[in-house]
């Protein structure tokens, strides 16, 4: 995680993390991106639900949450993940780790229905996060010229919210390997757009999402000049 991303939020008041959140968990190569609901009770309880998977027993208890130095932490014994989040950020999210894996998570406040632990509508339709976000415009960042000159490679991860019009809001860097990649990553993200959707009453109107940018350089091999290897036979006898 980048120190600069943490420092940027150093002046913010700690976020109130209690309540239900619509979250994405990423970074596990086997599970892929996971949509989940997280609920933090004022009594220290933490619960997780995966919408659409088990409607009868939707909420799985996790470890109790704790806060130390404005950092929220809790664990999921089933997956072995330990979650951390800096609370002095505009949004709720951070990183998770297991003994061998490392990933991130990002949340937006869930709607009232989810907050009330109602996960399905009367018709049995899962209430939250069943539709994926579909990128409509996915702008590519320009590789910074100075980074090429200095042969710098790097990575950035920005988490943000998407409103029902498909517009990106509140971008926040979760990971940034070098400041040189901040502006192009942010510019590209803000030029991007998702397909709009219809928000239903009781559901959260904003959707959480993250985008990672991997900046890499490939060495171009020297062009082979076939004439360089041709014997001229200047002294050849007729």
Report the interface residues with another protein, using CB under 8 A. Answer: 24, 26-27, 33, 35, 104, 106, 132-133, 135, 138, 140-141, 143, 145, 147-151, 162, 188, 207-223
Nearer to another protein, 1 or 67 (CB): 1
Q: What distance in Å separates the CA atoms of residue 182 and residue 82, rounded to the nearest whole number?
A: 28
Nearer to another protein, 116 or 148 (CB): 148
Residue 71 CB, shortest distance to another protein, in Å, is: 22
* Token representation of residue 185: 């990553």
Query: What's the distance, Cα to Cα, between the start and end of the chain in Å?
Result: 72
User: Within a 10 A sphere around the Cβ of 75, how many other Cβ atoms?
Assistant: 17
Q: What distance in Å separates the CA atoms of residue 189 and residue 141, rounded to the nearest whole number?
A: 8
Q: Which of 107, 112, 115, 66 is nearest to 89 (CA)?
A: 107
Residues 230/236, Cβ–Cβ less than 8 Å: no
Residue 41 CB, shortest distance to another protein, in Å, is: 26
Residue 86 CB, shortest distance to another protein, in Å, is: 18
Residues 110/21, Cβ–Cβ less than 8 Å: yes
Residue 82 CB, shortest distance to another protein, in Å, is: 19
Residue 64 CB, shortest distance to another protein, in Å, is: 27
Residues 136/194, Cβ–Cβ less than 8 Å: yes
Nearer to another protein, 63 or 98 (CB): 98
Nearer to another protein, 64 or 97 (CB): 97
Nearer to another protein, 222 or 231 (CB): 222
Residue 45 CB, shortest distance to another protein, in Å, is: 27
CA dist 81 → 28, 49, 205 (Å): 10, 15, 28
Nearer to another protein, 19 or 141 (CB): 141
Residue 121 CB, shortest distance to another protein, in Å, is: 22
Return the H-helix or E-strand segment holding 157.
strand 154-162
Question: 């960042």: which residue's tokens?
Answer: 141
* Token representation of residue 4: 């600069």
Nearer to another protein, 42 or 232 (CB): 232
* Token representation of residue 84: 């951390």
């Amino acid at each position: 995680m980048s120190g600069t991303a943490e420092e940027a939020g150093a002046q913010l008041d700690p976020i109130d993390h209690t309540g239900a959140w619509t979250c994405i968990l990423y970074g596990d190569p086997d599970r892929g991106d996971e949509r989940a609901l997280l609920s933090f009770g004022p009594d220290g309880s933490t619960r997780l639900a995966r919408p659409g998977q088990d409607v009868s027993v939707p909420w799985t208890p996790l470890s109790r949450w704790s806060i130390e130095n404005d950092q929220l932490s809790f664990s999921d014994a089933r997956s072995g993940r330990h979650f951390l989040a800096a609370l002095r950020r505009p949004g709720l999210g951070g990183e998770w780790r297991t003994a061998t894996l490392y990933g991130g998570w990002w949340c937006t406040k869930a709607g009232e229905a989810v907050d009330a632990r109602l996960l399905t509508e009367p018709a049995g339709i899962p209430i939250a996060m069943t539709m994926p976000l579909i990128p409509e415009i996915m702008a590519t960042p320009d590789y910074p010229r100075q980074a090429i000159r200095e042969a710098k490679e790097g990575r950035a991860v920005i988490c943000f919210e998407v409103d029902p019009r498909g517009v990106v809001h509140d971008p926040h860097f979760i990971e940034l390997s070098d400041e040189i990649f901040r502006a192009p990553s942010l510019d590209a993200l803000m030029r991007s757009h998702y397909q709009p959707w219809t928000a239903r009453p009781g559901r959260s109107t904003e959707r959480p999402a993250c985008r990672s940018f991997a900046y890499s350089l490939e060495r171009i091999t020297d062009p082979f000049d076939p004439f360089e290897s041709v014997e001229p036979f200047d002294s050849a006898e007729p």
